[in-house]
Amino acid sequence: GDQTPAPAPTPGNPNTDNPQNPNPGNPGTDNPQNPNPGNPGGGTVDPVEAAKTEAKTAIDASAELSDLVKEALKRQVEATTTEAAARDLKTKADALVSAVKALSGSVTAAKAVKEDAQYNSVDATLETTLEEKYTAAAGFLTEDSKLKNLNADGTLATTQASLESAKTALDAAVSALMPELTFVKTKTSAAAKVIELDALVNIALKTELQRQVNALTKEQADQATTMLANLTSLKESLESLQTLVSDGLKMQVDYPQKYYDADNKEAFDAALLKASSVFPAFKWTTDSIMVPAPTDGALPNPRAWTKARDKSEFVLQNFVMAPAQAAPATQSDSGTAAAASATVRLATGTEAAEDSESSEAQTAPDLASTASYLKSLNDTLKAATDALNGDNPTTKTAYYKADTTRTLYWDGFMPKIVVKDYQPAGDGSNKDTNETANKTKLEAWFTNSANWAGLEDQLTKRLGSDKFKNVTLSSPTVTYETISTGRDVRIPKVTFTVTAKNGYNLTAPTGNTKQISLSIRVLYTTENQTENALKYQGASSSAVPNNTTIVNDENVSRTVNVYLNYTGPAIVLDQAVPAVSTAANTLIDGTSNV
């Protein structure tokens, strides 16, 4: 019967018995714009409740804690009665999370060590200690590396201390084991690297390398690391040198244009000879590599190999060192140690050793000197090979040096021009009409660049690599010019734009546009035609020097260039180089007598 109204709820009291109030600290105030728990719709914020809410929110967001630990921590937060206590719990919870993260990282690292293929090769005592510390540390964590539970006393400080202690013990066990494990792994890798040298070094040298690896002890961990690095370098250098030397020797014999026209031919030859000298099993012969010097500008005729030079011939026989490394001899022994310096086998068949006056050197070559010397040889030869014909990654040069005093002719050495129904200038009743029609037909032929593929190479041979190299021709235009051969004759001329190949720099002459023109002397109307459709060339009496009465006059022989207007069957040489005296109209090197 007491009709006295109930007292109003106390603002900010989380214990208000109001079943319709879902927000602790907010006594049912219907204010959706009030984001602050403990603020009764415009009153002051309860700092204790705010601190508790902040702490519990941080705990819920910690992925490193199991649900069981989160609930236990939130109960501790809820039991606090002061703002300072709530914030202290949050700080300790954050520190606990950091400790869990650190321990989890150490457990993961230790697990990787345990799973290493060489783990069981380390000292048994070290292995046992690591197993114990790993088990203890992992016991604090769930399978997904979350903290299982708090210590028995339930406090955060003691739990954090336990985690940190377990981490320290585990890290110490790993640190004690790692040097030996690293050594074992390095030694195993070095032994495997020696096996990979099987096709690159002599059996005796391989056996010696295996002996050196097997002799390594855990006290020689640094030497093991150095040996692995040297073996790796040795393998890489030998593999590269086998290819570079083999290909280089073949190129010297095949004598391609990019070799004989190379700006760095002498440097390449020197690098190749020096690199090949470390393979004493390879025997030079007088016919192996020597080519005659050019005679009166004629191209040399390479001699054939006695047999093909395969990469398998280039096998390292012993330790070597750069000749400059060898110290003066300490004995008067006349024998030169095979490993004291690199032996150079000359193309004449003789042998020459740098510092061959020396006998056993004070400093004997070893794996380190061998790896260092071979790397320097490989780097030098590779750079020289890359630089052949201007193919240098840093300096790529293209040449076009026009000679305004010289007329270039499109003759039988150039790609064959075939223009159907071409009428020589002057034929027919209408010379101008024929010339216009011919020009159109020639332009159509030149429009297809495949018709004149290889023209750049022919011009390089004709002009020389110092004047024309690493360039491309484009935009051919056809014109006609008048020449006099006793009567005025109109002949076609084609002009190309000259540009450097992609990635090359074009040298002199300077100017925006470079052009080269060729007067066309040879042209056919059908593919099978053997008779030149342009029949206006001939010998001129003006070509003979005045006052010449002597047969075989030296002045005439030296100064007169005769163009032979050969209109008979084409002279076709064998595709393969013919054997001596077996092919008609050919010399020993396959060139035509004509």
In the predicted model, is pLDDT for residue 434 greater than 60? yes
Q: Picking from 5-14, 253-262, 484-493, which range would have the lowest pLDDT averaged per residue?
A: 5-14
In the predicted model, is pLDDT for residue 553 greater than 70? no
Torsion of CA 551, 556, 561, 563, to 10 degrees: -20
Q: How confident is the model at residue 407 (pLDDT cuts 50, 70, 90)?
A: confident
Q: How confident is the model at residue 544 (pLDDT cuts 50, 70, 90)?
A: low
Highest mean pLDDT among 142-156, 453-467, 539-553: 142-156
Q: What is the pLDDT of residues 209-233, one digit of tens each?
A: 999 999 999 999 999 999 999 999 9
Contacts of 553 (CB under 8 A, 6+ apart): 545
- Res 321: pLDDT: 87
Coil vs helix vs strand at 129: helix
Pick the more confident residue, 385 or 258: 385
Coil vs helix vs strand at 500: strand
Q: What is the pLDDT of residues 460-512, one digit of tens each?
A: 888 887 788 888 899 999 998 887 666 677 889 999 999 888 877 777 655 55
Nearest to 517 by CA among 551, 542, 480: 480
Nearest to 51 by CA among 13, 82, 23: 82
In the predicted model, is pLDDT for residue 303 greater than 80? no
In the predicted model, is pLDDT for residue 5 greater than 90? no
In the predicted model, is pLDDT for residue 287 greater than 80? no
- Res 500: pLDDT: 86
Annotated domain spans of the chain: 47-180, 229-390, 397-544
In the predicted model, is pLDDT for residue 396 greater than 70? no
Q: How confident is the model at residue 530 (pLDDT cuts 50, 70, 90)?
A: confident
Pick the more confident residue, 281 or 472: 472
- Res 207: pLDDT: 94
| 281-290: average pLDDT | 50
Quote the strand ranges of 283-353, DSSP E.
343-345, 351-353
CA dihedral over 181, 183, 186, 188, signed as positive or negative: negative
Torsion of CA 370, 372, 378, 384, to 10 degrees: -130
Coil vs helix vs strand at 10: coil
- Res 345: pLDDT: 30
Pick the more confident residue, 566 or 209: 209
Strand partners, 409: 519
- Res 547: pLDDT: 58
- Res 3: pLDDT: 53
Q: How confident is the model at residue 531 (pLDDT cuts 50, 70, 90)?
A: confident
| 297-303: average pLDDT | 48
In the predicted model, is pLDDT for residue 561 greater than 80? no
> Is 518:493 a contact under the CB 8 Å cutoff?
yes
In the predicted model, is pLDDT for residue 165 greater than 80? yes
Q: How confident is the model at residue 559 (pLDDT cuts 50, 70, 90)?
A: low
| 451-461: average pLDDT | 88
Q: How confident is the model at residue 386 (pLDDT cuts 50, 70, 90)?
A: confident
In the predicted model, is pLDDT for residue 189 greater than 90? yes
> Is 562:594 a contact under the CB 8 Å cutoff?
no
Q: Picking from 223-232, 236-245, 521-530, which range would have the lowest pLDDT averaged per residue?
A: 521-530
Pick the more confident residue, 111 or 568: 111
Give the separation between CA 276 and CA 345, rounded to whole angstroms: 9
Coil vs helix vs strand at 88: helix
- Res 283: pLDDT: 54
- Res 291: pLDDT: 46
In the predicted model, is pLDDT for residue 94 greater than 90? yes
Q: Which residue has the tokens 């809820």?
A: 78
- Asked if the peptide bond before residue 476 counts as cis, ω within 30 degrees of 0, the response is no
- Res 549: pLDDT: 60
Highest mean pLDDT among 278-292, 425-439, 492-506: 492-506
Give φ, ψ of 469 to 5 degrees.
-165, 145
| 360-373: average pLDDT | 80
What's the mean per-residue pLDDT of the chain? 76
CB-neighbour burial class of residue 378 (10 A; exposed 0-12, middle 13-18, buried 19+): buried
| 292-319: average pLDDT | 62
CB atoms within 10 A of CB 141: 19
Pick the more confident residue, 260 or 357: 260
Contacts of 388 (CB under 8 A, 6+ apart): 258, 259, 262, 264, 265, 268
In the predicted model, is pLDDT for residue 525 greater than 50? yes
Give the separation between CA 155 and CA 222, rounded to whole angstroms: 47
Nearest to 276 by CA among 368, 381, 349: 381
| 544-551: average pLDDT | 57
- Res 421: pLDDT: 86
> Is 96:147 a contact under the CB 8 Å cutoff?
yes
- Res 550: pLDDT: 61
In the predicted model, is pLDDT for residue 285 greater than 60? no
- Res 485: pLDDT: 62
- Res 588: pLDDT: 46
**DSSP-derived secondary structure for 336-389:** PPTTTS-EEE-TTS-EEETTTT--SBSS---HHHHHHHHHHHHHHHHHHHHHGG
Give the separation between CA 156 and CA 100, rounded to whole angstroms: 12
Query: Quick one: what percent of the chain has pLDDT higher than 70?
Result: 65
In the predicted model, is pLDDT for residue 72 greater than 60? yes
Side chain identity at residue 338, one-letter code:
A
| 364-372: average pLDDT | 92
Give the separation between CA 132 and CA 241, rounded to whole angstroms: 51
- Res 331: pLDDT: 38
Pick the more confident residue, 578 or 62: 62
Q: Picking from 188-197, 300-309, 525-534, which range would have the lowest pLDDT averaged per residue?
A: 300-309
